[in-house]
Every structure is written in C-alpha cells, then in structure tokens.
Structure 1
Amino acid sequence: MAYLVTGVAGFIGMHVAARLLARGETVVGIDNLNDYYAVQLKHDRLAELSGHTNFTFAQVEIADAAALNAALAPHRITHVIHLAAQAGVRYSLINPHAYIQSNVVGQLNLLEHARHNDAIVSMSYASSSSVYGGNTKLPFAEGDRVDSPVSLYAATKKTDELMGHTYAHLYRIPLIGLRFFTVYGPWGRPDMALWLFTKAILAGEPIAVFNHGDMQRDFTYIDDIVTGVIAATDAPPQDNGTPPHRVYNIGNNNPEPLLRMIDVLEDAIGTKAVRRLEPMQPGDVPATYADITAIARDHGFAPTTPIETGIPRFVDWYRGYHKV
C-alpha cells in the first residue's frame, strides 16, 4: 500500500507527506519543482522528508501523461492525494496557460491514472474556496452555486470538481474534492499575504492592504488542514448507486478581519507595520467563510488552531528559516 502525494514539494503537500510518513505509511511524492516561487524553498521542504526510508521522490510534470505514468509504474499506489496545481489568483491574470496545463490537464492525467489502476482505494484532490467567486451568502456551503468564478484559477478548480464527478459517475472511482480556505503556517508560500507581510515588516517596508483593509479570510492552520485531508482520504465515499464523489469545505469556520490578522502579526513580530491602503485587486473577493458542517459530520473535522496560536508559530519558523 502506498500513498501518492502530488505537489509534495509544495506547502500542503510536504506537510501531508510528513504526517503520513510519521504514522508509518509508504509515500511516493512527485513535483515538477517549477519556478513560480523560489525553487530552493521546495528543495528545503523535500529535505525535511528525505530522511524517511519509506519516501520516494520523482521530479515529473503532471501535465505530461507519458512521464507521469512512467514515474508511477514501479509503485503500487492505493491512495492518491493530488495537491499539485498552479496556485495564485493574481498570477492567473499573467500566465493563464500554466493554469490550464497544471490544473486541468494535470487533473485529467491523475484521474486517468486512477481509472486504469485497480489498486486505487481513493483519490482526494485540491479544490479551493475561490470557486465561490462573488457569492455574498456567508458562510459558503457546498450546496451553494459556484458557476460565477471571478478568476481563471477559480474556473480551473471548478473544472476539476466537474471532472471528478464525471469520473466517479463513469468509472466509480471514490473521489474527494477539498475546497481549501486560506491555508497558512510554517513552510508556507511566499506569495501569500502572511509571508509577504512578515517579510515587509521585518525589513521596515510598507505592506499593501487591499480593499483598504475591508477583507475577511477564514485563515486555516496547516496542521488542521492535514488532519482533514488525511481523514477524508482514508474514508472515501461509498458507491451506493450515486457517483462516489464528495466535495468538502476545509477551513477554520471563523473568518478574521484582515486588519485583525495584521494586529496579531505585529504582536508576534514585535513591530508595527506601515500600512499602505490599496483598492481591491482583480480576481479577489472581500470575504471567505467555510461552512464545515459536512466534513465535520462525515470525518470528524474540527480545527483547533486560532490565529493567535498559528501566526506566532509561523513567525518563529520564518525567523529561523531566514535567520532574521
């Protein structure tokens, strides 16, 4: 039995792989190690995993079906945790083709792998809270309409969900889509607000506060996310006549005002930020808020980490990693 973790050099992927290895699982990790952000950070994440004898890594592009199948052929994969994707709402305005290749073609190739692999028990995959687009009803629930995306990134994630439903219907593959809500924590992504703010404050530079600070985010700590991802993967939907496909919100169920997040970050760093108020950015939304009733009911998901705990942990890691 082996777990495939795609995007294993990414933020969530590294933490998921580490948790699985800690409980004794065999993990096959793949990643294309692209340069969307510093490749050294990805290598450093992989170094955290490389000491485990049950861990195997291959550098492969998931949009290349032949290369993907060749990399996976030596392994008996039973569980797929598909986290590889081109991330970032704003970058989708600059390089749209990267999102179609990674998020759509890559999803298709992983679904095809699962379709032709009789050993597969379940496949979970990353969706996003971005699919809710400009919805104004809060909290966001899985039954809400999600057919009005406001970014190409969101459109690709909704496409992933539609493809997942189709493959579950046609081939009865147990599939779980996970709509992540603003994940943060140690080893996070450099394009995320918490990292950008921390870097700027420590350097004495101003931070860009979009929509003049009138924003809310359901900040979700990485350890809570990992617990939910693995719980859902280990208990896939049953084939009871309907397609064995479920989509879950996975968030903190507690949206925080952006200005409150900055307050907590300032306290953790011990320095006040210079706040530069900016208008809303294209593709962004003013608020996210996860209704987690479904994943709590089906998988016992119950996040336990408030930002007052999680943000100082991130700052401590950031200082140690950058030696600042």
Structure 2
Amino acid sequence: AQAGVRYATKDPSSYIASNVAGFTAILEVVKERRPVPRVVYASSSSVYGLNTKVPFSEEDAVDRPASLYAATKKSNEMLAHTYNHIYGISLTGLRYFTVYGPSGRPDMAAFSFANNIMRGKPLRIFRGPDGSELERDFTYIDDIVQGTVAAVDRIGPSEKPAPFKVYNLGNKSPVTVSYLVDLLEEFLGRKAIRDYVPLPATGDVLRTHANVSLAASELGYEPSTSLREGIRKFVEWYKAYYKDGLDLEMDRYVPL
C-alpha cells in the first residue's frame, strides 16, 4: 500500500494504482481460491475525514474524506464490502490510528521530529485556522500488533454468512503534537527548535481520537502503552540504530 496524507497530493496516481487497483487485484485472487481465504487488511483513521464528533466510532459516517489518501482507504472499505456481498469473502478492515515505534516510517512525526532535533533543524508544528494545535491519537506498534493478531484469530472457521467487519485500533488518548515534542526532548536530551505554521491544504485533519469499544468487546483489544512509555522505547531504539542520530547513513532514510 502507498501510505501518507501529504505525498498523495503530489502523486495521486501512485496511490490509486497501489491502494485501489492493487487492493482490487488481491481481492480478485482471493475470490478464485478454494477454500476462499479470509482477509484482514489495513484501513486507516483517515477515513473519518472531516468528521468533528469525537471520539471516532465505526458507526460514524465516513463519506467526507479530507485527503486523496483517505479517499483511497475509504475505497478499500467499499471494495471489501462489495466483494463480501457478491462473493462471500470474509473481510476485516482495521482503522489504524497514527502508529509509531521502532523501525517506523521516517516521514511520520516521531521519527522525523527525532531526526530534526538531533540535527538542530526546526520542527514544523501545524496549527489550525483558529490557532489550535493538531491532536493525534498516537498508538504504539505493539498495541497495533496485538489488535491485528486478535482480528486474525477472531475470524476462525468459516462463518455463514461471511463477515464484513471494520474496527478502530487506537490509543484512545489524543495529545497535541507539542506534547509529543516535549517527550522527544526529554528522552533525546536535546531541545527542539519549534516553528509553528498554518496547516497546509494537503488533507491533514485537526484531530483524531479512537473509540475502541467495538474492538475491545469483540477482539479483547486494550492498548496498554502510554505515549510516554512508547516514546521512551522508540528513542531507545533510535539511539541504538542511529548512534544517537549522528550516523551519516541516516540521510538515506529521511525524505527530502
């Protein structure tokens, strides 16, 4: 899959090719297999788009995507529903909320901010039109893995009719981006240069907040890693991997 909200505005065709055409190709293969495989796939919290009611629930309408990326992930869910209806394929979508942790994507906030802090470069922290800061429901990778494995295990033997399910997997504790930077400063032992700028028109939303009650009741999902503990673990890995952020090879992993 092609991930990331902002880059989708630069190269939308690659997102369509990967996230929509690619997902359809997978479903086409699945429908021909016997027995028909049961599928768990990655959706995204971005499908909630311009919704203002929080926390976000699976019962909420998701018909107002704020980004091209969100539109492709919503398309995944619609395709999954259609293939479930026509071909009886069991399909479970997981709406991941701002995943972070060791070996994460370099363009995500925790990783890119850590890089800039170690290099003495400014961090761009976005503010909404009213001056408020963005809030994100940062979710540690171990909790995401636990929820994903639970979703795979839940499918079990074939059910009739084949289920179509969507679950939120988040930390249910949104915080401001500045608080994330505070924690990075604490564990990296360096101060950040903060540059507060208006939110660009690339599809980012002001806040995300997961209601995980459905995943809790049906999957036994319960996030257990606080942001403080998760960032501590991330920085511990980061320092070991990048030798305190001074490894010259890290340039290969930082998007320009």
Instruction: Give your verdict on TM over 0.5.
Output: yes
Residues 135-181 of structure 1: per-residue CA shift (max 9 Å, x gap): 10000001111111011100000000000011111111111001000
Given the two structures, how large is their TM-score scaled by the length of structure 1?
0.72
For the residue of structure 1 that corresponds to 2:93, the secondary structure is strand
| Corresponding residue number in structure 2 for 1:125 | 41
RMSD: 1.4
Displacement after TM superposition at 1:121 (Å): 4.1
Unaligned segments of structure 2, at least 5 residues: 245-256
- CA distance in structure 1 between the partners assigned to 2:204 and 2:21 by the alignment: 24
Match of 2:191 among 269, 272, 281: 272
| Corresponding residue number in structure 1 for 2:231 | 311
Q: Tell me if structure 2 keeps the 8 A contact 1:213–1:259.
A: no
Aligned residues: 239
- CA distance in structure 2 between the partners assigned to 1:160 and 1:144 by the alignment: 17
Displacement after TM superposition at 1:213 (Å): 6.3
Displacement after TM superposition at 1:132 (Å): 0.5
For the residue of structure 2 that corresponds to 1:208, the secondary structure is strand
For the residue of structure 2 that corresponds to 1:210, the secondary structure is strand
Displacement after TM superposition at 1:281 (Å): 2.3
Q: Tell me if structure 2 keeps the 8 A contact 1:213–1:277.
A: no
- CA distance in structure 1 between the partners assigned to 2:4 and 2:227 by the alignment: 22
For the residue of structure 2 that corresponds to 1:156, the secondary structure is helix
AA in 2 matched with 1:296: A
For the residue of structure 1 that corresponds to 2:198, the secondary structure is coil
Q: Tell me if structure 1 keeps the 8 A contact 2:30–2:37.
A: no
For the residue of structure 1 that corresponds to 2:92, the secondary structure is strand
| Corresponding residue number in structure 1 for 2:217 | 297
Percent identity between the two aligned chains: 49
Match of 2:143 among 213, 220, 224: 224
| Corresponding residue number in structure 1 for 2:26 | 110
AA in 1 matched with 2:198: P
Displacement after TM superposition at 1:120 (Å): 4.1
Unaligned segments of structure 1, at least 5 residues: 1-84
AA in 1 matched with 2:35: A
Q: Tell me if structure 2 keeps the 8 A contact 1:175–1:236.
A: no
| Corresponding residue number in structure 2 for 1:156 | 72
Residues 23-79 of structure 1: per-residue CA shift (max 9 Å, x gap): xxxxxxxxxxxxxxxxxxxxxxxxxxxxxxxxxxxxxxxxxxxxxxxxxxxxxxxxx
| Corresponding residue number in structure 1 for 2:204 | 284
- CA distance in structure 1 between the partners assigned to 2:180 and 2:108 by the alignment: 13
Match of 2:61 among 138, 145, 165: 145
Displacement after TM superposition at 1:321 (Å): 1.2
